[in-house]
Amino acid sequence: MASRKSTGFTVVGGFTLVEVMVALLVVALALPALLMRIGGMASAAGHSRDVAVAYWVAENKLQEIYLTQRLQGVLPRGRQADDTRMAGEVWDWQTEMEETALPGLLRLRVRVRMQGEENNLVELSGFLLE
């Protein structure tokens, strides 16, 4: 029996260079798609936050008008517009009071958008009795 000289290393198994290159190619193709998906999710979360805050602004304005009517007997007529600050942003709001088909019943619309934006994020409606 001939003896073999040992180098001290035993190779049990491993990846070939081709297998490693294929794995890197798969990662290189999947990573940009994953990053785009994460970016889209972050954008959607930011939009949801903006809509929620705009809704709070609209609800606050609607409740302010309800309370002013109830406590002071004053109703705003026509359109009013202004801005308010909430959650670190400036929000433009607009209210519009209009008559309905029923005498004495008024419809109140509140629209809110982020300052500098063109489109409303929220439109909230309510009804008041004169």
The dihedrals phi and psi of 77, each to the nearest 5 degrees, come to -110, 150
What is the rounded end-to-end Cα distance, in angstroms, of the chain?
112
**What are the extents of the domains in the chain?**
17-129
The CATH code for residues 17-129 is: 3.30.1300.30
**What are the pLDDT digits (tens) for 28-48?**
999 998 999 998 999 899 999
**What are the pLDDT digits (tens) for 46-105?**
999 999 999 999 999 999 999 999 999 888 888 999 999 999 999 999 999 999 999 989
Q: What is the CA 4 to chain-centroid distance, rounded?
A: 70
What's the CA angle centered on 124, arms 50 and 55, to 5 degrees?
25
Q: Let me know how long the chain is.
A: 130
Taking 70 as the threshold, does the pLDDT of residue 121 lie above it? yes
